[in-house]
Structure 1
């Protein structure tokens, strides 16, 4: 049977790409990824006030597709327009709350902390993503040439970056590093620091300076290093700004500790997400006593894909 063809529409950010590509792979469709670019002042206008028109966004050069998977605010109008103007039946699936009438989409995949409800809404615990257990396992040895060869167990720190809610000031980062340093010394862990696309270069350099040559700081954004660090870690620490990377790490079933930063503005959705993950026994806070705790590995991507396959007869 010929696979369905899909187009993925995102703003090009890691978290969005991870969600859209993860769902496409789990649905087993052939797909191409397209970074959405809005025209002129439409970049700052909410989707609910934006006309469904080609004039809103730069043309996407793909005519033959059966499924649209979109993620993020800027992809909302292009997804609706491409479905409406297609010359055959096309399913459009939006990830996250589109902030428009939900009936513009065949299905919406939204985390529980978005509090979105509707007949075409599939709720998830945290964010779906593109990681698989096999991929993590296959890259386990990648960091062998980077890490220090000794008997210490590995503690992985995965860093996001500044957002409108969280500030990566020297004060905030020093607070995280100081708590982490105490943990490393108490338990004789070796630290592996993994940056993301949002991590400021000065924060990465500060990590190298702070932790010194006795630990490992990966300077470049490297997916294989990220996967390897998840595979070899005894404990995983993730900064509070990235719900997507916390969700990705939950696929491992390993203890996850959240490095908190005092919010600049009310971070209700983030707090709701972390409250759910605490209730599921997936996360604790950096600074809590380190211990081995267990939870059911979270693989929401494949769970959602199974539901969608039944609904659209894939």
Structure 2
């Protein structure tokens, strides 16, 4: 298809960090296997149309980056906002663009060449390739580079260095201030007892009261609390950590942490998701993660989770077969 030139790949999303990381992470994994030029595309929808079912959203209402010929060789999209475009791309490109959608699109699978949902969604089909967790941008090289950027602040921290990454409200979970304060108290006692240090990061979904409660409990510990200003040290925290704690509301956070190969503990939250429960159970079965019970209990070493690379190999196998 490419006649010896680099693959042209579009990584398409609504620009939200966790969603964009899936499309970019997979595109970058493909580029590690084969020469490729990656173009990041961020799109949106006028007048709140993005809240409608994808079938009802007219492509002409799109905002953001240009989506027009010449079409890419490979279209990798993530997130609900991309569906009005992804579902039409095979027709627009006359089948000459290989169309990939991460997550469960909740759309006819025949509109895609490859769908890559998390295993815990239970989606099946001839063009479905489930993975454990979600695609991400974590590589040893990326972690080393990010640690180098923040080394002056992080290298002096005492061991064990504990990275704590906090999500927030979702369809299935919530994080009220009183629960956040209790979690923070358990974490503070653990770090005090171990003589270690804290690297604390919140996400955009963390409610302000929960953020304030945790910061108040933990800010006196040795370490760094990222307040959302300046450059995001998230990758650097993962690189510097001896152990990682993430809240149970997010597939992305746990997948990122599991890609480091470091001890991973899941922080409980009010609420329940059967799908996420299956995901965490599989991580625990593989010896990757365990529930946080107030201590950094010893864990056996495990191979860093490399599902993005596995998915990239499958993508290229199918892309080559479609030529």
TM-score scaled to structure 2, two decimals?
0.87
Q: 1:21 Cα shift?
A: 0.2
Distance 1:75 1:52, change over 3 A: same
- Tell me how far apart the structure 1 counterparts of residues 157 and 171 of structure 2 sit (CA, whole Å): 40
- Structure 2 residue runs without a partner (length 5+): none
What is the CA deviation profile of residues 135-167 of structure 1, one whole-angstrom value per residue up to 9, with x for unaligned ones? Answer: 112332443433484644211101223223222
Number of residues of Structure 1 aligned to a counterpart in Structure 2: 310
Residue of structure 1 in register with 2:16 after alignment:
13
Distance 1:208 1:76, change over 3 A: same
Q: Equivalent residue of 1:252, what SS?
A: coil
Q: 1:173 Cα shift?
A: 0.6
| 1:270 and 2:276 aligned | yes
Q: 1:230 Cα shift?
A: 1.2
* Matching residue within 195, 217, 228 for 1:220: 228
Residue of structure 2 in register with 1:259 after alignment:
267
Contact 1:52/1:78 (8 A) holds in 2: no
When the two chains are superposed, the root-mean-square deviation of aligned CA atoms in Å is 2.4
Q: 1:246 Cα shift?
A: 0.7
- Tell me how far apart the structure 1 counterparts of residues 117 and 171 of structure 2 sit (CA, whole Å): 21
Q: 1:117 Cα shift?
A: 0.4
What is the CA deviation profile of residues 198-250 of structure 1, one whole-angstrom value per residue up to 9, with x for unaligned ones? Answer: 33455444433212333321212667621221122111001111111110111
* Equivalent residue runs for 1:1-314 within 5 Å: 1-28=4-31, 29-40=36-47, 42-47=49-54, 50-51=55-56, 53-55=58-60, 57-58=62-63, 61-62=66-67, 63-64=69-70, 65-86=72-93, 89-147=96-154, 149=156, 151-215=158-222, 216-220=224-228, 225-263=233-271, 266-287=272-293, 289=295, 290-313=297-320
- Tell me how far apart the structure 2 counterparts of residues 223 and 252 of structure 1 sit (CA, whole Å): 21
- Tell me how far apart the structure 2 counterparts of residues 169 and 199 of structure 1 sit (CA, whole Å): 10
- Structure 1 residue runs without a partner (length 5+): none
TM-score scaled to structure 1, two decimals?
0.89
Distance 1:56 1:114, change over 3 A: farther
Q: 1:58 Cα shift?
A: 4.0
Contact 1:93/1:107 (8 A) holds in 2: yes
- Tell me how far apart the structure 2 counterparts of residues 268 and 297 of structure 1 sit (CA, whole Å): 25
Distance 1:92 1:98, change over 3 A: same
